[in-house]
């Protein structure tokens, strides 16, 4: 029984990571209707920046904040420099650019920081388990950080004018321009936010899976499964989907298919959702009367 | 004194197809100018050209300043509010959010809240629908919301694209009655595109008649209204 409970809680902890990356995917998807394949690679790059800062002697949380800020700036820069010239191009161009970005960022990470697997520190006490062996310090801490990030993003989009403008720009760019919203910049901000959220996810997962240039590959798949499960056009759905995939993956890995086949669970979810319910569990239904 | 809006030799089109072939027209400060014409004459295109939604040639001046070639959002920030063809409602957002977006460029929250009240004075129904998803509003209510969103920009110039489109006659009357009040109280110039020529000529001081992208008749709205031949050949009533 304790084993099951622990697997469940561990699933929530990794699910939080998937939820963050899923949210990053959905943020860009909502604005552009494309999935950023390079989201995971960008997060890995950010995590290496954090490691470099920590190794340079900065306190963990200073490095954390700096990494988030730098990742945000890099996200904005990628949109301005790489995506903007192709904004009116057909879908295939975007797919090409995303794959190019994936390869470039991935290889750049290896080239700059090395291909060897590295240990990434956790800011949360990792010795022993809390609550009678149910949860490790890092699981608890990373879940709290993840939830805090998700809450912040939610509050930003719901309750600030800039967040409202970003949503408006994603839904209806033409009308947004008519009320004076600089739509291009909203898109860039979206990329920045997605990169920042991805960076947090990377830093939270790295102590568990260890850091190397391909760290996020599998995680991106789970996150994509989560986003699809919840509905790729629904941020809340993506978050719920991310948590659900985390728990499912952990339970299936422990009791059904074994750890070696865990990734298959993600693929099975992706295919299952696409076949049974392509809009996902919470796919947005827009009421409209004409 | 320069007119509020002046277009000189305005051309525009979609892709290779030219739609406007050099229009000259003006909207006076606090004045109402109507653009009339049949389907496909280029009325909507003219409004889109004025606020930079399509590529244009010629000159467009807002209070003497060139605005042609600028981005739509920059033209909006200079005080041009466009109630577009199809109303441009943010369907997924609430009425409140739609209105907040109208005031997006204005930093002073207190002033905006005062303007919310003013807009509710014109359209009390929006107050009742305040928290509702805008996509669930009726056509008339969406038109009211679109006009409100435009007013909340505190525009100098209001571009209205067929405010009567698809609405019941009573609703149209209501909306035009309120637009008269808006015109008197808000000191805004209006460029109105309308299929319903009789309605538009009652409301406007100046009118231009478009035919396949050219102005064929222009003058004071009252004169055009009285001119039998123009009425028969172009306005069909």
| Pairs of residues, one from chain A and one from chain B, whose beta carbons lie less than 8 Å apart | 78
| Residues of chain B positioned with their CB less than 8 A from the CB of A288 | 91, 135-136
Strands B56-62 and B65-66: antiparallel
Mean pLDDT score across all residues of chain B: 91
Nearest to A216 by CA among A25, A29, A11: A25
Give the count of alpha carbons within 13 A of A210, CB side only. Answer: 6
Q: How far is A83 from chain B (nearest CA, A)?
A: 19
Q: Which residue has the tokens 């990030």?
A: A149
Mean pLDDT of B111-132: 94
Q: How far is A23 from chain B (nearest CA, A)?
A: 19
- Band (B1; pLDDT cuts 50, 70, 90): low
| Residues of chain A positioned with their CB less than 8 A from the CB of B78 | none
The rounded percent of chain A whose pLDDT value lies above 90 is: 57
Torsion region of A163: left, alpha or beta (phi above 0 gives left; psi -120 to 50 gives alpha): alpha
The rounded percent of chain A whose pLDDT value lies above 70 is: 94
Contact B136 A176 (CB under 8 A): no
CA A261 from chain centre, in angstroms, equals 22
| Residues of chain B positioned with their CB less than 8 A from the CB of A180 | 73, 76-77, 104-105, 153
Contact B149 A284 (CB under 8 A): no
Residue of A nearest to B97 (CA): A164
- Domains along chain A with CATH numbers: 2-276 (1.10.3470)
Contact B73 A172 (CB under 8 A): no
Q: How many Å apart are CA B82 and CA B50, to the nearest integer? A: 10
- Band (A274; pLDDT cuts 50, 70, 90): confident
Q: Which of A85-89, A259-263, B28-32 has the lowest mean pLDDT?
A: A259-263
What interface predicted TM-score (ipTM) does this complex get? 0.92
pLDDT at B48: 95
Mean pLDDT score across all residues of chain A: 89
Residue B65 in this model has a pLDDT that exceeds 90: yes
- Band (A168; pLDDT cuts 50, 70, 90): very high
Residue of A nearest to B82 (CA): A178
Residue A132 in this model has a pLDDT that exceeds 90: no
pLDDT at A127: 64
Residue B95 and residue B148 in contact, taking contact as beta carbons nearer than 8 Å? no
pLDDT digits over B179-202, tens only? 999 988 888 999 999 888 888 999
Alpha helices in A210-261 (DSSP H): 216-230, 235-251
pLDDT at A144: 92
Nearest to B23 by CA among B13, B38, B15: B13
Residues written for chain B: 237
Residue B10's φ and ψ, nearest 5 degrees, are -70, 125
Residue A186 and residue B101 in contact, taking contact as beta carbons nearer than 8 Å? no
Task: Say if B132 is an interface residue toward chain A (CB within 8 Å).
Answer: no
Helix (H, G, I), strand (E, B) or coil at A125: coil
Contacts of B73 (CB under 8 A, 6+ apart): A176, A177, A180, A181, A182, A183
**Using alpha carbons only, what angle is made at residue A99 by residues A98 and A100, rounded to the nearest 5 degrees?**
90
Residue A284 in this model has a pLDDT that exceeds 60: no
Task: Say if B46 is an interface residue toward chain A (CB within 8 Å).
Answer: no
Contact B101 A165 (CB under 8 A): yes
Residue A35 in this model has a pLDDT that exceeds 70: yes
Strands B206-211 and B32-37: parallel
- Domains along chain B with CATH numbers: 5-235 (3.40.50.300)
Residue of B nearest to A285 (CA): B92
Residue B113 and residue B169 in contact, taking contact as beta carbons nearer than 8 Å? no
| Residues of chain B positioned with their CB less than 8 A from the CB of A286 | 91-92, 135
Mean pLDDT of A59-79: 96
Mean pLDDT of A262-275: 85
Residue A290 in this model has a pLDDT that exceeds 50: no
Mean pLDDT of B51-59: 92
Q: What is the largest CA-CA distance in chain A?
A: 61
Residue B24's φ and ψ, nearest 5 degrees, are -120, 120
Q: Least CB-CB distance to B91: which of A164, A178, A286?
A: A286
| Residues of chain A positioned with their CB less than 8 A from the CB of B97 | 164, 168
Q: How far is B89 from chain A (nearest CA, A)?
A: 7
Quote the tokens at residue B49. Answer: 């050209």
Nearest to A235 by CA among A9, A8, A11, A31: A31
- Band (A266; pLDDT cuts 50, 70, 90): confident
Contact A168 B93 (CB under 8 A): yes
Strands B157-161 and B80-83: parallel
Nearest to B123 by CA among B87, B177, B76: B177
**Bridge partner residues of B161 (DSSP):** B193
Mean pLDDT of A83-110: 91
Q: Which of A53-62, A218-227, A230-239, B26-35 has the lowest mean pLDDT?
A: A230-239
- The 3-class secondary structure across B108-150, one letter per residue, is CHHHHHHHHHHHHHHCHHHHHCCCCEHHHCCHHHHHHHHHHHH
Residue B85's φ and ψ, nearest 5 degrees, are -50, 125
Q: Least CB-CB distance to A164: which of B77, B101, B136?
A: B101
Interface-testing mutation among B44, B90, B141, B148, with chain A (most A C-beta atoms within 10 A):
B90
B42-68: b (≥16 Cβ within 10 Å) or e? bbbbbbbbbbbbeebebebbbbeeebb
Chain A residues at the B interface, defined by Cβ less than 8 Å, are: 161, 164-165, 167-168, 171-172, 174-183, 284, 286-290
Mean pLDDT of A119-135: 77
Strands B17-27 and B32-37: unpaired
Task: Say if B88 is an interface residue toward chain A (CB within 8 Å).
Answer: yes
Task: Say if B53 is an interface residue toward chain A (CB within 8 Å).
Answer: yes
pLDDT digits over A220-247, tens only? 999 999 999 988 888 889 999 999 999 9
Residue of A nearest to B154 (CA): A179
Residue B21 in this model has a pLDDT that exceeds 80: yes
Q: Which of A200-204, A285-289, B61-65, B217-221 has the lowest mean pLDDT?
A: A285-289
Q: Which long-range CB contacts under 8 A does A247-256 form with residues at least 24 apart?
A: A247/A8, A247/A11, A247/A12, A247/A15, A248/A11, A249/A11, A249/A14, A249/A222, A250/A7, A250/A8, A250/A10, A250/A11, A250/A14, A251/A4, A251/A7, A251/A8, A251/A11, A254/A3, A254/A7, A255/A7
Mean pLDDT of B74-97: 94
Residue that wins the pLDDT comparison between B3 and A134: B3
């Amino acid at each position: 029984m304790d084993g099951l409970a622990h697997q469940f809680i561990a699933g929530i902890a990794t699910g939080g990571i998937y939820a963050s990356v899923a949210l990053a995917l959905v943020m860009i998807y909502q604005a552009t209707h494309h999935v950023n394949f390079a989201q995971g690679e960008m997060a890995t790059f950010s995590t290496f920046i954090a490691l470099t800062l920590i190794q340079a002697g900065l306190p963990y949380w200073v490095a954390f904040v700096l990494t988030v800020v730098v990742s945000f700036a890099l996200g904005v820069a990628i949109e301005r420099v790489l995506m903007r010239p192709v904004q009116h191009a057909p879908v295939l161009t975007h797919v090409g650019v995303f794959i190019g970005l994936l390869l470039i960022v991935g290889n750049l990470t290896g080239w700059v920081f090395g291909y060897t697997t590295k240990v990434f520190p956790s800011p949360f006490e990792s010795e022993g388990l809390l609550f009678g062996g149910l949860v490790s310090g890092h699981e608890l801490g990373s879940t709290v950080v993840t939830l805090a990030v998700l809450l912040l993003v939610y509050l930003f989009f719901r309750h600030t004018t800039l967040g409202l403008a970003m949503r408006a720009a994603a839904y209806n760019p033409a009308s947004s321009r008519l009320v004076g919203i600089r739509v291009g910049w909203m898109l860039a901000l979206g990329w920045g936010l997605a990169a920042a959220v991805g960076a947090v996810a990377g830093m939270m997962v790295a102590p568990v899976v260890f850091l190397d240039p391909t760290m996020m590959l599998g995680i991106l798949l789970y996150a994509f499964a989560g986003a699809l499960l919840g509905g790729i056009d629904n941020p809340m759905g993506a978050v719920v989907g991310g948590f659900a995939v985390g728990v499912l993956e952990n339970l299936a890995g422990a009791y059904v298919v074994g750890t070696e086949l865990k990734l298959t669970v993600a693929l099975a979810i992706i295919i299952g959702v696409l076949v049974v319910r392509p809009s996902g569990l919470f796919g947005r239904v827009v009421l409209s009367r004409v | 004194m320069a007119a509020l809006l002046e277009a000189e030799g305005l051309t525009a089109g979609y892709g290779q197809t030219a739609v406007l072939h050099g229009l000259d027209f003006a909207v006076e400060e606090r004045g109402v100018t109507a653009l009339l014409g049949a389907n496909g004459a280029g009325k909507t295109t003219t409004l889109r050209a004025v606020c930079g939604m399509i590529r244009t040639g010629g000159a467009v001046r807002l209070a003497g300043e060139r605005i042609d070639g600028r981005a739509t959002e920059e033209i909006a920030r200079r005080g041009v509010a466009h109630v577009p063809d199809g109303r441009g409602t943010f369907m997924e957002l609430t009425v409140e959010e739609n209105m907040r977006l109208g005031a997006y460029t204005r930093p002073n929250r207190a002033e905006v809240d005062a303007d919310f009240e003013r807009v509710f004075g014109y359209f009390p129904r929006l107050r009742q629908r305040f928290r509702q998803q805008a996509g669930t509003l009726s056509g008339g209510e969406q038109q009211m919301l679109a006009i409100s969103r435009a007013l909340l920009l505190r525009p100098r110039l209001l571009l209205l694209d067929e405010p009567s489109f698809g609405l019941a006659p009573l609703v149209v009357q209501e909306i035009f009655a309120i637009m008269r009040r808006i015109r008197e109280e808000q000191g805004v110039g209006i460029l109105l595109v309308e299929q319903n020529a009789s309605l538009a000529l009652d409301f406007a001081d100046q009118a231009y008649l478009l035919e396949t992208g050219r102005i064929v008749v222009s003058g004071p709205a009252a004169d055009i209204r009285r001119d039998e031949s123009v009425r028969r050949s172009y306005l069909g009533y």
